[in-house]
Amino acid sequence: MNRLQRWIGETVVTHSSWELVLMRVLFAWLIWRLLPLEVVYVAQPVPNGLGRLIDLTFLAEVELWHVLRLGAGVGLLLYTIGVAPVVSLGWPTLLLTSFGALENSQGAIGHHLQLTCMVALAQWGVYLASARQGLRQILWPDLDDHRLAVHWAKIVIAAGYVASACVKLIASGGLWLVQLPDISLQLIKTHANVYYDTLRPTEGWVATQLPNLISEYPNLTRFFFAPGLVLELLAFIALAGRARALMIGGGLLVMHWLVRVVMNLSFGSHEWLLIIFLVNIPYWMWCAITRVRSGFSPRKSAAA
């Protein structure tokens, strides 16, 4: 394997069973958190995606939604322990996707649900494909299926970021970095949006002085924002093993943190997906603890 292949060669990471359980627990929690207590949309004024195929306004019926959501909760509990994910993950995935389609059929496309739904759909697809092997696989998929499901989650996350970078280059005619100083107006806009959402004054230099600084120092702006675009373009490197996933996932988290500080915009579910599937903190903590322990324990002699 040459050096380039080692860097970008896609591998299915052989996560331990405890890592996979933790990933499922966190992902189930993320899906549950995204399912609202009630649905307030009683119409689909501008149907989008799934909403163009099905009238999803039935979800706004309070009692029905409570039952459907409760079913999703039970499903997610079963999914965390790895039981029948075709159904236990499939049901919450269908419900979240339906709710997201209804929400996006109000005429305002938001972007906080799509990546989670796509990750859930990809994982569900893996379990569905493995179901061909028989009832035992449907009820209790083996470790390799769970690993493949996690690998597909990473593929979807990486593809989402690469697509986002491609759109930046396509929509701007390759001039994204040239146009970047005009982001100062977007800063003013997002801070104004936050103010008119809550009427809490947006204070601090980020809201009051940064837009003018960006406008006055365009090259400095490009210097700070360009790495984000490069990271998004190279997000596929995260598929080349744990260390690359940590590097790309960590970098994208820093990018989101900067966007949150500068633009007052948060992509919470994207950040959680990066933490769960790419950064994988529990594994690295386990590595660190193991290393520290082995450093303190007496060496075994070769003869022993």
Partner 1 sequence: MSEKSLPTHHSGAADADRPVRRPLLRVGILVVALLLIGEQFPFSYFPMYSSFDPEADYYYVADTEGQPYACVEIFGTSTANVKKMYRARLRELVNKRGARESDATEAERREVGEEMLEYLRALGARSGRIVPTDAVVLKRVLVQRDNEGVITRQEIYIAEG
Task: Write out the binding residues for partner 1, residues 188-207 only, by CB under 8 A.
Answer: 188-190, 192-193, 196-199
- The 8-class DSSP code of residue 58 comes to G
Assess contact for 12 and 145: CB atoms under 8 A.
no
Name the nearest CA neighbour of 228 among 203, 208, 254, 207: 254
Sign, CA dihedral 116-121-125-127, equals positive
Q: Which is nearer to partner 1, 77 or 222 (CB)?
A: 222
* DSSP classification of residue 298: P
First to last CA, the chain: 35
User: Which residue among 34, 68, 86, 121 contacts partner 1 (CB under 8 A)?
Assistant: 121
Cβ proximity of 301 and 263 under 8 Å: no
Verify binding: residue 180, partner 1, rule CB under 8 A: yes
Q: Residue 66 interacts with partner 1 (CB under 8 A)?
A: no
Contact assessment for residue 299 and residue 277, using Cβ atoms and an 8 Å cutoff: no
- The residue among 158 and 303 lying less far from partner 1, judged by its C-beta, is 158
CB of 298 to partner 1, least distance (A): 25
Find out whether 58 and 123 touch, Cβ atoms under 8 Å: no
Closest C-alpha to 185, from 161, 212, 205: 212
What is the closest distance, in whole angstroms, from the C-beta atom of residue 45 to partner 1 in the complex?
7
Draw the binding track, 28-47, toward partner 1 (x: CB under 8 A; -: no contact): ----------x-x-x--xx-
Of 85, 181, 249, 251, the one binding partner 1 (CB under 8 A) is: 181
Establish if 172 lies at the interface with partner 1 (CB under 8 A).
Answer: yes
Among positions 25, 77, 87, 113, the unique one binding partner 1 when judged by CB under 8 A: 113
The footprint of partner 1 on this chain (CB under 8 A) covers a number of residues equal to 89
Q: Which of residues 3-32 bind partner 1 (CB under 8 A)?
A: 5, 8-14, 16
